[in-house]
Structure 1
Amino acid sequence: MQIWLLILGMLAITFVIRYSFFAWPDLRFPRLVEQGLHYVPVAVLTAIVVPGMLMPEGHWALHWHNAYLLAGVLAILIAALSRNLLATIAGGLLSFFLLRWAFGQLPL
């Protein structure tokens, strides 16, 4: 029962937050808040991706046999040099699977 209450509470909070933009369309934030909101997607994506790169199995893996870390660093380099999202995704995925294959970590 507690799980359902938690789910319904999250649903209500999400609905109210998203509905507020329709209910009050003239709502404007201060300039400083608007500038800060531009960093939210980058911060959220970083919070999701970095733990997976540094701790792929639940503990620190800062060594040269960590394909997640090496492919992530390579994807960052591709993004910085090319500024192309498709090239970053393709290069990161390709390097990840090649590194996993080279390290014998693919479950084939």
Structure 2
Amino acid sequence: MIQFLTVLGMGLVTYLTRLVPLHYLGRKQLPAWSLQTMRYIPTAVLTAITVGEVLFRDGRLAVGIDNHRLPAAILAGIVAWRSGNVLLTIVAGMLAFWLLQILVA
């Protein structure tokens, strides 16, 4: 029973912390500088997650030749930059990663 109440409480806290700002800010017009800044939030978050996964393994910096994620991520970055196509970027990065694992391992 305590586990159920804990999960319910966590859900309620999560819901309320998102509802309150949306409720009060939903009626106001945000300044232009704020909207321009918010455009970069998804890119910054995705970069933070990706760089951590690509450059670190088991809590250590992994930039050696045995890190197959690094060249795959570089290729995916180039494909994203040149094409702007998310699906093509994912496919290119995953194919490069899988091929490196098969060919080098």
Same fold (TM over 0.5): yes
Taking the aligned partners of 1:94 and 1:19, their CA distance within structure 2 comes to 43
TM-score, reference length from structure 2: 0.79
The aligned residue for residue 103 of structure 1 is: 104
Pairwise CA distance, 1:65: 1.9
- TM-score for the superposition, normalised by structure 1: 0.77
CA distance in 2, matches of 1:16, 1:34: 21
Supply the distance in 1 between the matched residues of 2:75 and 2:25 (Cα, whole angstroms).
44
Aligned equivalents of 2:11, 2:38: Cα separation in 1: 21
1:53–1:72 Cα contact (<8 Å) kept? yes
1:80 Cα deviation (Å)? 1.1
Aligned pairs for 1:1-108 within 5 A = 4=6, 8=9, 11-18=12-19, 20-22=21-23, 25-104=26-105
Distance 1:11 1:38, change over 3 A: farther
**CA deviation after TM superposition for structure 1 residue 9, in Å:** 5.3
Structure 1 unmatched ranges of 5 or more = none
- Contact 1:21/1:27 (CA < 8 Å) preserved in 2? no
Structure 2 residues without counterparts, runs of 5 or longer: none
How far did 1:13 drift?
4.5
The sequence identity of aligned pairs, in percent, is 31
Q: 1:50 is aligned with what amino acid?
A: V
| Root-mean-square deviation over aligned CA pairs | 2.4
